[in-house]
Structure 1
Amino acid sequence: MYCKPKVNNGSVVIYYGTKGVMRFPTGVKISKSKDRSKKFIQWDYKNNRVSIDVPNSTDMNKIISDWLVKADNIVSEYLKDGATITADELKSNLDRLKDGKAQVKTSLFLDHYDEYMERKRVQLVERGNKSNESYKTYGTFRSTIEDYEAEHQTTLKNSDVTNNDWLNHFHSWLTIKRKKQIIHDGVIYKFKTKGNLKPASVDKRFEVLTGYFTYLKEKELIKDDNFLKRYKRNEITVTSKIKTTLSINEIHELYNYKFDNDVKENVKLIFIFSCLTGFRWKDIENFDKGFICDFKESKVYKHVAQKTKGKIGKIATIPLSKMAIEILETLNYNLKIYSNAYTNQVLHKLLKESKLFDQLTLAEDETGKNLKRYELLTMHRGRDTFITNLINTVPLHELMSYTSHEKLSTLQKYIDYSRDINPEYVSIFDEKPAN
């Protein structure tokens, strides 16, 4: 340890005394009261931290510890290069870090995670979530790592996690049920996550880990992330993700169900339109009436799907059913009414209210509780519904023209395999051959 926390007139600072003196304020303040020995009564001098009987001492000591580790890490980075950082240089580095302007190549694993979370927040919240990915997952991952560090009494560095041994250990740790809290050096730490994760939830944690590794590689903080991708591909086994879709009868039932306000009605119609066309959310946002044209006495919509725009640029030609046309007319050909997040929020409420999708599924949340169908339905399930309802009746090359898919394997990912089988298909074996 190169730096040390000290109290300076009630303010807790990080002290560094090489080539000058630095007293960097952590923002933590304690009472200025002193005992007969002229020591601050709220400071634990033996362990260099706020006394555990002080309200919010756990949070205060966490802040102090974070700044102390960052300061020590910066000093360590200089020493690796054979240089000694001065007190003024260290303070300058910490000031820049505090102001969010620092690009110090610290080796602490979580040091750049807040920046990464902000990037994901912009992608998933501000720009509208184009998938089923939830921003909440990224906060859960941070809590998971903090719990890991607390339980193992360590502060992870990039060098600690960039190897298969740690991945194996972390993988196993995720599947073990955690205690509610632990006591370390007289301080109570309450776990934020429960552990005991099932394969699908472990997969989610590794998805976040993979994305964060890619981010660290971009910033040249790690050299390679391929080992993690290989580990995830070979060691994280998840059974086919359980999804649910609407049958044709259920589409009509929902269409005929009337809700008590315009917002729910509008969201219902937008969702059903996706079920009838296979539109992704971005396609809904960019819908343009001008691309509807007549074709063989029917209406079709021709467009380049936004997801593949600039890549394959394949044109999707989607026949519009009478119900789809009715929905467009009801909405005055305006599908971009609400944000994706708000639309999904309202969708869950109206599907629950309709009681049409209350059946339990085999899908489970992280506690092992089985989810009901309405809990699995999002705007993106409209595309799955469209493909699943047509897969057995429309020639594959035709269906792929509707969806603009280039590969059959990609199309198959959208199929809802939880649908009941049709035993009539095997009746051909009962047909007697002609003499």
Structure 2
Amino acid sequence: MIIKRNIIFTLESRKKDGILIIENVPIRMRVNFASKRIEFTTGYRIDAAKWDADKQRVKNGCSNKLKQSASEINASLLGYYTKIQEIFKKFEVKEIMPTQEQIKEAFNALHKPIKEEVKPKKSTPNAFYKVFNEFVRDCGRQNDWTDSTYEKFAAVKNHLMNFHDELTFDFFDEKGLNDYVTYLRDVKEMRNSTIGKQLSFLKWFLRWAFKKGIHQNNAYDSYKPKLKSTQKKIIFLTWEELNRLREFEIPTSKQALDRVRDVFLFQCFTGLRYSDVFNLRRSDIKGDHIEVTTVKTSDSLIIELNNHSKAILDKYKDVAFEDDKVLPVITNQKMNDYLKELAELAGIDEPVRQTYYRGNERIDEVTPKYALLGTHAGRRTFICNALALGIPPQVVMKWTGHSDYKAMKPYIDIADDIKANAMSKFNQL
């Protein structure tokens, strides 16, 4: 059972004396499902000018009147989004359509009731977290972190504070590191792969502070716990599924899905990430190819156009979009939701088994493919199908910007499997 829902973060619309309030505006979380709506207060406020309505996040580098940073607020919003999704998934597993009250109760069971205002703490921040803030500020500037990276480290800080709000550098000896891993596994119920990522982020911070001479405890350097894990399954569309999606006749009542399909297909035929399609301008189109500087890695790429990608560009060549953009790209979150709906309608429902570990417990989940689709599947689809067509990996890497052959290895393995299965068809003749 799949419960269709839409989770939106937006500023509350308030007026005073008939004038819309634009300063210190409450941020709300709106959950729509089954023709129902639930409104949650997030406990955060921000000026309208500091809010990015497209990304549904506070603009990078901004803060509110309580001196809460964009990274802190955005990490909390991401946490709320994740918890709500987890709640819906639990009802889906039980094949129950929840009521509004059940969703509210489940959410409040995970969080203390969200207060409208969060008052600043009167106590002096712990020195450990002061240094952590310096690390985020300095490394963020030095490495030109994106919003998502700031959000990741805000989440790291939240996990550490929930674990222990009075941490010291001396705490993280082998026992302390073991205690933290146990907390992430048993209390936060994280997968081993997620624990590994959290541990690597913490080590990065501890290593930075050690090099600065802030502490002398380098136990982190030799700490390598055994965390069973499996290679993450690459979700992509086979050539047959891609054609099925492309040729599917979208119902007249759902024509908004047509533009979503076009953007996704453009990714499938160019290998561009969502962020690069979102930023694609008409000036980037150079006749038979496109020239882009990628948002994530700042690579300068030249990607030749094929008949499929050209057809999509031609479809919108006379349509004017904001900032002279080429395609009608909506927010990543909304596009992911619409993609799942589109793929379900098109019958892309092959069961996909995903395996992961929590501690020593092996967990297998079987999910229809449409429920796993997201915008990044477009890029993966391009890579897998290009390799399966026999295009050399080094050529594909020129298009995608991959500089490390190791990163292409999982895709090459998939392409080899596709070729082997294709050869077996001769046995049927």
Query: How does 1:374-385 map onto structure 2 within 5 Å?
Result: 374-385=370-381
CA deviation digits over 1:268-304, x for unaligned, max 9? 211121111110223213323344445xxxx332334
Q: Highest Rg: 1 or 2?
A: 1
- Local SS of the residue matching 1:316: strand
Counterpart amino acid of 2:409? Q
1:390 aligned partner:
386
Q: Matched residues in 2 for 1:416 and 1:388: separation?
A: 9
- Local SS of the residue matching 1:391: helix
The answer to whether structure 1 residue 318 and structure 2 residue 309 are counterparts is no
1:341 aligned partner:
333
Q: Displacement of 1:399 after TM fit?
A: 2.0
2:177 aligned partner:
167
Work out which of the residue numbers 401, 407, 410 in structure 2 matches 1:410.
407
Q: Matched residues in 1 for 2:175 and 2:415: separation?
A: 37
Q: Matched residues in 2 for 1:350 and 1:422: separation?
A: 28
Task: Indicate the RMSD between aligned Cα atoms, in angstroms.
Answer: 4.8
- The alpha-carbon distance between structure 1 residues 336 and 363, as it changes in their structure 2 partners (threshold 3 A), is farther
Q: Matched residues in 1 for 2:210 and 2:340: separation?
A: 38
**Contact 2:263–2:327 (Cα < 8 Å) also in 1:** yes
Q: Matched residues in 2 for 1:237 and 1:205: separation?
A: 15
1:209 aligned partner:
202
Q: Matched residues in 1 for 2:216 and 2:266: separation?
A: 44
Q: Matched residues in 2 for 1:344 and 1:225: separation?
A: 43
Q: Please, which moves more after superposition, 207-216 or 389-398? A: 207-216
**Contact 1:266–1:331 (Cα < 8 Å) also in 2:** no
Q: Taking structure 1 as the reference length, what is the TM-score of the superposition?
A: 0.53
Q: Matched residues in 1 for 2:113 and 2:396: separation?
A: 59
- The alpha-carbon distance between structure 1 residues 396 and 265, as it changes in their structure 2 partners (threshold 3 A), is same
Structure 2 residue runs of 5 or longer lacking an equivalent are 1-111, 318-324
Q: Matched residues in 1 for 2:218 and 2:411: separation?
A: 27
Q: Matched residues in 2 for 1:414 and 1:390: separation?
A: 10
CA deviation digits over 1:115-165, x for unaligned, max 9? 969x99xx9xx9775xxx8958954x566545544xxxx84223212x333
Work out which of the residue numbers 289, 301, 315 in structure 1 matches 2:290.
301
Work out which of the residue numbers 281, 292, 298 in structure 2 matches 1:288.
281
- Local SS of the residue matching 1:394: coil
Q: Displacement of 1:112 after TM fit?
A: 5.2
Q: Matched residues in 2 for 1:136 and 1:323: separation?
A: 36
- The alpha-carbon distance between structure 1 residues 305 and 227, as it changes in their structure 2 partners (threshold 3 A), is farther
Work out which of the residue numbers 244, 254, 259 in structure 2 matches 1:261.
254
Counterpart amino acid of 1:410? A
CA deviation digits over 1:224-269, x for unaligned, max 9? 898647646x744532112211111111111222254343222221
- The alpha-carbon distance between structure 1 residues 276 and 113, as it changes in their structure 2 partners (threshold 3 A), is same
- Local SS of the residue matching 2:266: helix
Q: Displacement of 1:221 after TM fit?
A: 8.9
- The alpha-carbon distance between structure 1 residues 316 and 148, as it changes in their structure 2 partners (threshold 3 A), is closer
- The alpha-carbon distance between structure 1 residues 242 and 199, as it changes in their structure 2 partners (threshold 3 A), is same
Query: How does 1:225-264 map onto structure 2 within 5 Å?
Result: 228=220, 231=223, 235-236=226-227, 238-257=229-248, 258=250, 260-264=253-257
% identical aligned pairs:
19
1:360 aligned partner:
352
Work out which of the residue numbers 104, 107, 110 in structure 1 matches 2:127.
107
Q: Displacement of 1:166 after TM fit?
A: 2.0
How many aligned positions are there?
294
Q: Matched residues in 2 for 1:328 and 1:226: separation?
A: 54
The answer to whether structure 1 residue 275 and structure 2 residue 286 are counterparts is no
Query: How does 1:419-434 map onto structure 2 within 5 Å?
Result: 420-423=417-420
